[in-house]
């Protein structure tokens, strides 16, 4: 079993959907995936830390967050929208300047397969 650090605990009511192999994700680069009916942006950071947030930019409703700019504010991993450069916390989805945030999803890697948690 591949051992990775989860950014947030999975909700007890969550099911897991296999999305891709860990090696399919380039470090510090986003990839979009359709998980059920939800567009999810997946990110692999150094140390194989995984994050999953909604791919829809809350301000423009465009499906672009996977193409955002990965960065940090202090020790907080962030993603900036490629359209208006609004910055969001990758762990929680919160907008760092206030306003609507992104949905954050539980994410894990099991035996090299990245899984996203979804409500059951």
CA distance 78 to 8: 15
Question: In the predicted model, is pLDDT for residue 102 greater than 90?
Answer: yes
Question: In the predicted model, is pLDDT for residue 37 greater than 80?
Answer: yes
On whether the 14-119 domain is CATH 2.102.10.10, my answer is: yes
Percent pLDDT > 90 in the chain is 85
**Contact between residue 42 and residue 52 where contact means Cβ atoms under 8 Å apart:** yes
Enter the tokens of residue 11: 């909700």
Q: What is the pLDDT of residue 3?
A: 35
CA distance 22 to 15: 19
Report how far apart, in Å, the C-alpha atoms of 67 and of each of 3, 24, 64, 100, 119 are. 27, 16, 6, 19, 25
Structure confidence by residue, pLDDT tens digits, 53-91: 999 999 999 999 999 999 999 999 999 999 999 999 999
- Domains in the chain: boundaries: 14-119
């Amino acid at each position: 079993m591949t051992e990775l650090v989860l950014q947030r605990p999975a909700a007890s009511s969550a099911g897991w959907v296999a999305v891709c192999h860990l090696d399919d994700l380039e470090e510090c680069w986003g990839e979009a995936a359709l998980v059920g009916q939800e567009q999810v942006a997946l990110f692999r950071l150094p140390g194989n830390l995984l994050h999953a947030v909604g791919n829809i930019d809350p301000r423009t409703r465009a499906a672009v967050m996977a193409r955002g700019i990965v960065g940090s504010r202090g020790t907080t991993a962030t993603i900036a929208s490629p359209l208006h450069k609004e910055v969001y916390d990758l762990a929680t989805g919160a907008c760092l300047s206030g306003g609507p945030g992104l949905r954050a999803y539980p994410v894990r890697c099991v035996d090299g397969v990245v899984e996203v948690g979804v409500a059951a």
